[in-house]
Amino acid sequence: MTLEVGGGRAEFTVTATLANGSARPWNAARLTLDAPSGRVVHARSAATAPRLGAGEPLTAHGQVTRPEVSTATTLTCRGTARHEDDEVTYTATAALS
């Protein structure tokens, strides 16, 4: 699970990737982005996949708008997927300034 943040002070881009490193397929893969209060997230690509094969990544892109006055906070992304009755969850964070 990776989370990359780049761009300017008022708006910045976010790229999140959930990679299936297992030898078995995952179902219902999903990426969710938890932005700090006052920030707005605009999805630029799909953040779900009905099936994620062994070795395949799910990558989502977004744009985050930050308010005029901002203090350092953290952006969190969660990736979840299912295999049979098991659910896997991965988390990645990035510091915002």
pLDDT single digits (tens) 70-95: 565 788 899 999 988 889 999 999 87
Q: Cα–Cα distance between 49 and 56 in angstroms, integer?
A: 11
The pLDDT of residue 69 is 62
Residues listed for the chain:
97
The pLDDT of residue 44 is 86
The pLDDT of residue 25 is 94
pLDDT, tens only, 14-38 = 899 999 999 999 999 999 888 777 7
The pLDDT of residue 12 is 83
The pLDDT of residue 38 is 78
Q: Cα–Cα distance between 8 and 23 in angstroms, integer?
A: 39
The pLDDT of residue 11 is 81
